[in-house]
Structure 1
Amino acid sequence: MIVFFAGSAYDGVAGTDRHLADELATMRPVLYVDPPCSVLTPLLRTRPAAAMRARSMLGPALRQEKSGLWRLVPRVLPGTRRPGMHHVTTRWTRAKVRRAAARLGQPVTAAIATVPDDLLGAVEGVPTMYYVTDDLAAGAELLGLPRRRLLAAERRQAEAADALAVVSPVLKERFAAMGLDAAVVPNGCSPAAYAGVDEAPWPDDVPRFDRPAAGFVGNLNGRVDLDLLEGVADAGHPLLLVGPRDASCPAERFAALTARPDVVWTGMRPHTELPRYLRAIAVGLTPYVLNDFNRASFPLKTLEYLAAGRAVVSTALPATDWLREDAEGAALVRAESSREAFVKAVGDELAASAEHGRAEPGKAEQSMAGRRRAYAARHDWKYRAREIADLLDQVGGPRDSGDQARPGR
């Protein structure tokens, strides 16, 4: 069994941790360990984030989520991140993981962590991996944690792990400056989930727009450039926003944006429902603020838009450059960072979508939508899981008898 120490709750917004763990579970049993949760969380459910975690607290601490995957919700004392108290939280979590593994009766063969907390030693004598999915130190203010503490914890974790993997080339360079070699394993997508997006039922909470719409799917937080979303709305384009709003997203500006007649905000929706919402848009948006935290990221949403055959307009992130063109040189993602250029790119793609909609249906596979889907298929999560498994193999981790080829970029 692989113990997977995640940075997000399994039933939260589906991100790297959940997608990767789900795919690994098709190869080996997985114990997915949620971030530690205070026993007082259910009392704070008036706060959006606490309300989400409260749902997790209501069920058993150890539960089976799907075939081959169990989930542990470590319930710990309040003040989980306070100085000094975070060491107690870590010790409690490690003990709870050992008890859960013993209860399941599954031999632990490897441990993976996407957080810098000292958790990989919870089960001794197995190969370990630190998989870095964000530049946590650069996002210290957004996370509300001390930068110095994050830097120290991250370095300790990277040096202690048997294998080190990162989600982007920017993160690889960052660890190289520390003298540490990291393998780049980018985010992926689930192409099969979006195969029937154009025939998916129209979402009940979204009106049928009278012209092509742009959309954003994901966490609405301080990473998102509201100025770009406001620019799209100012230009008169219908805008669909799907995802929870975090406190770091300015409340008044966001309320004013979502009050506009052609802007629809649904709040958080299950990941399994996303094809329905992507059916309602023609252009997917990745409007991230240009800072060190975002430059080191690899936005999941960009690949998911492509898997759905949608045009993509993003700010100019290194990950965007990595995904810019397919093998034939077709531009798959428009990258613009100024408000004027971003809004113009959105308008151009919406106009192109309207024109393609009038094209002969029989030529769909030759269209840009078909090329986007074909490109996204090369970045299936099953290939990312295989890369992680291969890295664990190299340090003595679990082996799987499958012989899937892994395509290159």
Structure 2
Amino acid sequence: MGEIRAVVFLGMNPWDYSEINDSVRFLAAACTKVDSLYIEPPRGLRGALNNPAYLLSNIRWRKTDRNGVTVYMPPLGFAPVFFGLRKYADNYTAAKFDRILEELYGRSWREQTLVYISSWSYTQTHFIKRLKPKYLIFHILDDSFAFPEIKNNPRVLAGNKSFYQYMMANSSAVIAVSPELAGKYSALYHRDVHIIKNGVNVEHFRRNEFTPVPEMAGIHQPVLMYTGSFNSWVDLKLLIKLADDRPGYSLVLIGHYYEGSTDANLWQVLLSKANVYWLQSKPYATLPAYMQHAAALLLPRTKDEHSLASDPLKLYEYLSTGKPVISTALPAVGDFREYVYVSDREDFAASIDRAIKEQDPARVRRQVAMMEKHSWRARVNELAGILLANCGTTFVTTQES
């Protein structure tokens, strides 16, 4: 049996980007028993123009160490997709990265290296084609073809379909974060899709000591809290209704708002409510302190196809705090029915009332303990098992389950 010495993760976001969190960075950080190499995504021309320092320094491969993860910034990340410029840049950067891997692991680096790419890296098809890894994992994180930002943009949709066509045909194994995604894309491309759900850094969220947060000091209790991005799958109408139905509760919103991805008028109506507080994005390191101030944590999602197929990161983070969790009827909450109050729009406020009233220390302990098996290290172990079953090779993992 062969053995993997390194995993190369093609990232969704720059490593130090704090506006949102993502599964790829969490997996890379949890892959501790082999070399974990993280390649930051190209930022494109618009992103580069907004950051002159990046534009000037982005002419050769650069690397830094981030707590055991080697983070690489590829050159020519400012090359746009149009006119095929991204393709030529990716061919060049892949050739250079081939040499980097050869220096690290010898000419047989392909026998010792796994390359991981997620469904959000659709612009990097040519990088993968030129790099030609022997072991390639394709991870479907969301229902790409159903996202409004993708399906309503012909150029972006075509790029995604071309990317999927190549990855589904050439990957050593394909994984998805939900049964809904696995079923849909398995049927579309006629190949097996394994399921590895999202995970959580349990220790990060299960802090016992209360941490004062000055920003929360002036917000009256009880606090209902949502953390995460605001885009097309967040039910803004439900949040507006909740603010109206429970004026005595404070509704605290933490996360990045994606302009153009949702109804701007509804967003403004929500923010106009006297008991609604949008604190914008907070660094991952500080999120648990904010969550400690919540009486309940909310997962208000729409019934859109891409919403129902998702496996929200925040669900795992919420549950790890031990706080009551109230969600709309997402398939992803099915594994946690004992601990999640699932409600429709009409009864959402009443479910929150009940969740707050029914808090029980024994239930809290069971809830937090249950999340141990959903750690990111456990997900790395699952990934190793799929690699072994499909390719006859694997990498050393921790013993955590």
- After TM superposition, the score normalised by the length of structure 1 is 0.83
- 1:30-60 C-alpha deviation (Å, 9 max, x unpaired): 1112221125524336xxxxxxxx8977877
1:391 — aligned with what? 386
Q: Distance in 1 between matches of 2:97 and 2:242?
A: 47
Q: Does residue 1:243 correspond to 2:255, yes or no?
A: yes
Find the partner of 2:340 among 333, 336, 341: 333
Q: Distance in 2 between matches of 1:76 and 1:146?
A: 21
Q: 1:83 to 1:240 in 2, by over 3 A?
A: farther
1:50 — aligned with what? none
Instruction: Look up the SS of the partner of 1:284 in the other structure.
Output: strand
Find the partner of 2:38 among 15, 32, 37: 32
Instruction: Look up the SS of the partner of 2:145 in the other structure.
Output: coil
How far does residue 94 in structure 1 lie from its aligned partner after superposition?
Answer: 2.4
1:359 — aligned with what? none
Q: Does residue 1:381 correspond to 2:376, yes or no?
A: yes
Q: Does residue 1:268 correspond to 2:268, yes or no?
A: no
Q: Does residue 1:126 correspond to 2:138, yes or no?
A: no
Q: 1:350 to 1:65 in 2, by over 3 A?
A: farther
Q: Is this contact kept in 1: 2:150–2:157, CA < 8 A?
A: no
Q: Is this contact kept in 1: 2:12–2:22, CA < 8 A?
A: no
Instruction: Look up the SS of the partner of 2:198 in the other structure.
Output: coil
Q: 1:257 to 1:79 in 2, by over 3 A?
A: farther
Q: Distance in 1 between matches of 2:190 and 2:330?
A: 25
How far does residue 127 in structure 1 lie from its aligned partner after superposition?
Answer: 1.1
Q: Is this contact kept in 1: 2:206–2:322, CA < 8 A?
A: no
Q: Is this contact kept in 2: 1:120–1:161, CA < 8 A?
A: no
- Equivalenced residue count is 377
Q: 1:140 to 1:7 in 2, by over 3 A?
A: farther
Find the partner of 1:114 among 105, 118, 121: 118
**Amino acid aligned to 2:308:** R
Q: 1:315 to 1:99 in 2, by over 3 A?
A: farther
Q: Map residues 150-165 of structure 1 onto 2, 5 A cutoff.
A: 150-165=160-175
Identity %: 24
More off after superposition, 294-303 vs 61-70:
61-70
Higher RCO, 1 or 2 (CA under 8 Å, sep at least 6)?
2
Q: Is this contact kept in 2: 1:307–1:373, CA < 8 A?
A: yes
How far does residue 225 in structure 1 lie from its aligned partner after superposition?
Answer: 1.1
- 1:272-309 C-alpha deviation (Å, 9 max, x unpaired): 11110110112111112211111221001011110000
2:88 — aligned with what? 88
1:20 — aligned with what? 27
How far does residue 348 in structure 1 lie from its aligned partner after superposition?
Answer: 2.5
Q: Is this contact kept in 1: 2:33–2:398, CA < 8 A?
A: no
2:302 — aligned with what? 289
- 1:58-114 C-alpha deviation (Å, 9 max, x unpaired): 877633242331222335365634474443354244245335545767856110100
How far does residue 250 in structure 1 lie from its aligned partner after superposition?
Answer: 3.5
Q: Distance in 1 between matches of 2:398 and 2:156?
A: 44
- 1:344-370 C-alpha deviation (Å, 9 max, x unpaired): 2223223435xx5xxxxxxx3x1x221
Q: Does residue 1:138 correspond to 2:151, yes or no?
A: no
Q: Does residue 1:280 correspond to 2:293, yes or no?
A: yes
Q: Distance in 2 between matches of 1:259 and 1:140?
A: 26
1:6 — aligned with what? 11
How far does residue 138 in structure 1 lie from its aligned partner after superposition?
Answer: 1.1
Relative to its length, the structure with more helix (as a share) is 2
1:347 — aligned with what? 353
Q: Is this contact kept in 2: 1:212–1:350, CA < 8 A?
A: no
- After TM superposition, the score normalised by the length of structure 2 is 0.84
